[in-house]
Amino acid sequence: MAKKEKPSTRDEQDRVESGGSTSHPTPSLTKELLELKLSEGQRRTILKYAELPAHLSKRLAENHTEAIGTQFTLDELDELLDYVGCSVNRAKGERKAERPA
């Protein structure tokens, strides 16, 4: 998936369009931590069925409450979404194969 960039403010856009430069670089959103709140059932299901790399499995397996959640960067959330999406597609394909013709 494409990486998301932080939208600039209108003032920054005006300076760039007029040939000026921004006073400071736009911070990367890939370093910003976002909280993912999952129920224990959701967490267990993802860990059981999604073939996650070790660094994501470890983070999800840590003991967190629903109120606190787990913090991930946008890149990590994007990666997690890719793995979960692949698992869902794989499960849908297996279900179709089990249906009688």
Digits of tens for pLDDT over the chain (101 positions)? Answer: 444 444 444 544 454 455 554 444 445 555 788 888 888 899 999 999 999 999 999 988 886 666 678 889 999 999 999 999 999 998 888 766 555 55
Res 48: pLDDT? 92
Residues 25-44 pLDDT 10s: 445 555 788 888 888 899 99
Helix, strand, coil share (%) of the chain residues, nearest 5: 50, 10, 40
DSSP SS3 for 58: helix
* Global model pTM greater than 0.85: no
Both tokens of 86, joined, read 């692949």
Res 50: pLDDT? 92
Count of alpha carbons within 13 angstroms of residue 30, beta-carbon side: 9
Both tokens of 27, joined, read 């911070």
The answer to whether 73 and 40 have CB atoms below 8 angstroms apart is no
CA-CA-CA-CA dihedral for 81, 53, 2, 6, to nearest 10: 80
Count of alpha carbons within 13 angstroms of residue 100, beta-carbon side: 0
